[in-house]
Amino acid sequence: MIRDAAPADLPEILRLVHALAEYEREPDAVEATIDDFARALFPQDGTPTTYALIVEDDGAVVGMAVWFVTFSTWTGRNGIWLEDLFVDPANRGAGTGKALLTRLAQICVERGWTRLEWTVLTWNEPAIAFYEALGSISMDEWQTRRLQGDALRILATA
């Protein structure tokens, strides 16, 4: 069963994020807390900046997709940036990941949005094969760039 995340899901979301970090060989990289996710997903004031879908199997949370709204200046329409998709290893191969991506595609189509985008680590061959089987294309001509830490602070004060 796929559903929108609820505040009661926050501990499970954080558990899945930690499991994803382990899988991506960055076990100590997660700085986010339950409070951070609560502010983004369920703010007390204003509109959420981030959304999450939850997958349950017999009442247990086994997967998630965390996403936010993007905008394309070329199409003049919004889209979805899939920040993270993760399914517990014991639940892989049963269509859970495809069901999450299907629901995100449905949200795009229902809202008239034109894109569903994400990144994948170049070494994650099982995920790449899975995404290609769904019809996704690689945007090889684009390079993801990031400012963080000291570089971000230095630019902010320039």
pLDDT, tens digit, for every residue of 12-37? 999 999 999 999 999 999 999 999 99
List, edge to edge, every strand of the sheet that includes 2-4: 2-4, 51-57, 60-72, 77-87, 115-117
- Smallest Cα–Cα separation from 48: which of 74, 10, 11? 10
Q: Kindly report each contact of residues 100-108 with a partner whose C-beta sits within 8 Å and lies 24 or more positions away, as own/partner.
A: 100/2, 100/53, 100/55, 100/63, 100/64, 100/65, 101/65, 101/134, 103/2, 103/53, 103/65, 104/53, 104/65, 104/67, 104/80, 107/80, 108/79, 108/80
**Which alpha helices (DSSP H) does the chain contain, by range?**
10-23, 34-41, 96-111, 125-133, 149-156
pLDDT at position 17 is 98
Query: What is the mean predicted confidence (pLDDT) over 126-136?
Result: 94
Residues with catalytic function: 131
Query: What is the mean predicted confidence (pLDDT) over 81-93?
Result: 95
Query: What is the mean predicted confidence (pLDDT) over 45-50?
Result: 95
Query: Model confidence at 61, in pLDDT bands (50, 70, 90)?
Result: very high
Query: What is the mean predicted confidence (pLDDT) over 80-108?
Result: 96
Query: What is the mean predicted confidence (pLDDT) over 45-49?
Result: 94
